[in-house]
């Protein structure tokens, strides 16, 4: 029963809390029990605050008994990625350069909204140093592992968040995504991850990677992501990039009806990428399932004005260079070599290179707007590969260039459109495969609804890794 509670979707928990069939205390204990039993195998957490979580759960239990819940997520176990500031807990960002002994007296907007709605925070999840790569390991926290196979990486940079959700250590998780850092680990660990439209979820402080970075939900069901997005999309004046608040309840937008929708499928997004045969087959089958549900699916190729990889390479390395330049010499001496190398590449670039990349980004954004004016959503593989060995920076067949094996997620950080990764199958070795669903700008509801439709044809929440 305890294990079932740890994997029960947030939407079901809320229903059971309302009828007093379940208590937030027993649910939070179930999550904490999973962390205690399996946490050392996964290394998914930097902080677990069991006492605080149980106190919050007890308060939630009393509110439900009084018929006065605090909000939409009252009593739901939740984790926060260790790039996102959280009052009372150090946010070390996977780095030895961050001083833990300083005031931690502020919540990021998404954390504040979660607390306002009664979510029970279990702790903080691991990230590579400052989220700079697509795997989750750092010299501060070591290697985080994939619950489907402990020898494999969960991806990154929200790898701790995805590993926790996939293994029943909290129903909800906050991740961040500047080049795929929600979608990559969601793909590798078989959960749902949504990068919302840029500005949909207010962020503070600004990411070192600027307007490439998004915060979003990581969950085991689409309905849970919709519920979570409804909460974290609430406004916050600290983010001047944030979109005007439109008071959308995303839970009401996911009936799963996709009859008559026009869906584009691009097997490689028009990029020179070889997709693993098992991945290609699972994604192709997924497109057929959407067609069977009543959508019109057309296979297309894309013709980007400028290769997305060229643009994001410039923006990422320049951002890294600027960030590293703000550190003291002592702090720079504590930074991982891969991040220092990224910063060194950015330091070589001049202002003309940066401005050209920004203009190229604009051209690609306009192009993608045109594509998604013709179609309701665009489909692709989330990644061309399945999870590879933990501790390695990339699959064996790829170069160590950070974007070499991650071709399909960064383009939509550049363009700002909402994009999700949803499980669509498994390899013969038992590793999850992800389908990427991209919507038009501000089309978060559309992405969620198509995701819900696919989930109805391919339920994945009942699939659990064995630890």
What does DSSP say about strands 77-81 and 172-177: parallel, antiparallel, or unpaired?
A: parallel
Average pLDDT over every residue of 9-14: 98
Average pLDDT over every residue of 28-37: 98
Burial of residue 260 (number of CB atoms within 10 Å: 0-12, 13-18, 19+): exposed
**Phi, psi dihedrals of residue 91, rounded to the nearest 5°:** -115, 95
Residues 121/49, Cβ–Cβ less than 8 Å: yes
Whether the pLDDT of residue 9 is over 80: the answer is yes
Residues 287/262, Cβ–Cβ less than 8 Å: no
Residues 324/331, Cβ–Cβ less than 8 Å: no
Q: How far are the Cα atoms of 146, 150, 317, 409, 441 from residue 212, in angstroms, in the given order? A: 26, 31, 12, 11, 14
What does DSSP say about strands 262-265 and 296-299: parallel, antiparallel, or unpaired?
A: parallel
* Diameter over CA atoms, the chain: 62
**What pLDDT, in 10s, does the model give residues 65-117?**
999 999 999 999 999 999 999 999 999 999 999 999 999 999 999 999 999 99
Identify the DSSP state of 129: G
Cis-peptide, bond into residue 157, ω within 30° of zero: yes
Query: What integer pLDDT is reported at residue 3 of this predicted model?
Result: 83
Q: Report the candidate in 6, 409, 336 with the shortest Cα–Cα distance to residue 175.
A: 409
Pairwise CA distance, residues 365 & 371, whole Å: 10
Burial of residue 90 (number of CB atoms within 10 Å: 0-12, 13-18, 19+): middle
What's the fold here for domain 2-457?
Amidase signature (AS) enzymes (3.90.1300)
Residues 410/183, Cβ–Cβ less than 8 Å: no
What does the radius of gyration of the chain's CA atoms come to, in whole angstroms? 21
Pairwise CA distance, residues 266 & 287, whole Å: 10
Pairwise CA distance, residues 93 & 141, whole Å: 10
For 99, the token pair is 């001083």
**What pLDDT, in 10s, does the model give residues 391-449?**
999 999 887 776 889 999 999 999 999 999 999 999 999 999 999 999 999 999 999 99
Domain residue spans of the chain? 2-457
Catalogue the active-site residues: 81, 157, 181
For 286, the token pair is 């997924």
Residues 176/83, Cβ–Cβ less than 8 Å: yes
Q: Report the candidate in 336, 304, 298 with the shortest Cα–Cα distance to residue 320.
A: 336
For the chain, first and last CA: distance in Å?
17
**What pLDDT, in 10s, does the model give residues 317-353?**
999 999 999 999 999 999 999 999 999 999 999 999 9
**Phi, psi dihedrals of residue 212, rounded to the nearest 5°:** -80, -20
Q: Is the pTM for the entire model greater than 0.95?
A: yes
């Amino acid at each position: 029963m305890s294990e079932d509670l740890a994997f029960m979707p947030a939407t079901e928990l809320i229903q059971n809390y309302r009828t007093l069939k379940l208590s937030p205390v027993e649910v939070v204990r179930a999550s904490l029990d999973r962390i205690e039993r399996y946490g050392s195998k996964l290394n998914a957490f930097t902080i677990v605050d069991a006492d605080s979580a149980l106190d919050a759960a007890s308060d939630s239990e009393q509110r439900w008994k009084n018929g006065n819940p605090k909000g939409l997520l009252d009593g739901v176990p939740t984790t926060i990625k260790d790039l996102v500031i959280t009052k009372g807990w150090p946010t070390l960002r996977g780095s030895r350069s961050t001083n833990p002994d300083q005031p931690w007296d502020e919540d990021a907007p998404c954390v504040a909204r979660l607390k306002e709605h009664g979510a029970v925070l279990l702790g903080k999840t691991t990230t590579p140093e400052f989220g700079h790569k697509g795997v989750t390991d750092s010299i501060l926290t070591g290697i985080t592992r994939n619950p489907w196979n402990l020898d494999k990486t969960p991806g990154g940079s929200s790898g701790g968040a995805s590993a926790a959700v996939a293994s029943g250590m909290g129903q909800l998780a906050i991740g961040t995504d500047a080049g795929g850092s929600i979608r990559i680990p969601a793909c590798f660990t078989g959960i749902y991850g949504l990068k919302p439209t840029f500005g949909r979820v207010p962020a503070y402080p600004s990411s070192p990677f600027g307007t490439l970075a998004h915060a979003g939900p990581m969950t085991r069901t689409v309905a849970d992501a919709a519920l979570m997005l409804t909460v974290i999309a609430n406004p916050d004046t600290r983010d001047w990039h944030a979109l005007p608040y439109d008071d959308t309840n995303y839970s009401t937008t996911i009936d799963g009806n996709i009859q008559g929708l026009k869906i584009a499928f691009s097997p490689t997004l028009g990029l020179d990428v070889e997709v693993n045969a098992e991945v290609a087959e699972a994604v192709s089958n997924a497109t057929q399932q959407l067609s069977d549900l009543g959508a019109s699916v057309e296979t297309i190729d894309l013709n980007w004005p400028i290769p997305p990889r060229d643009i994001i390479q410039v923006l990422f390395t320049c951002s890294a260079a600027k960030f590293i330049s703000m550190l003291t010499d002592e702090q720079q001496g504590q930074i991982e070599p891969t991040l220092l190398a990224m910063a060194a590449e950015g330091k070589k670039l001049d202002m003309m290179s940066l401005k050209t990349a920004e203009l190229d980004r604009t051209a690609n954004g306009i192009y993608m707007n045109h594509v998604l004016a013709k179609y309701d959503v665009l489909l692709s593989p989330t990644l061309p590969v399945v999870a590879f060995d933990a501790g390695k920076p990339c699959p064996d067949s790829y170069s160590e260039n950070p974007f070499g094996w991650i071709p399909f997620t960064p383009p939509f950080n550049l363009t700002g459109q909402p994009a999700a990764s949803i499980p669509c199958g498994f390899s013969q070795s038992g590793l999850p495969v992800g389908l990427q669903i991209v919507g038009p700008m501000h089309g978060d509801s559309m992405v969620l609804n198509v995701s819900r439709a696919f989930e109805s044809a391919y339920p994945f929440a009942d699939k659990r890794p064995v630890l």
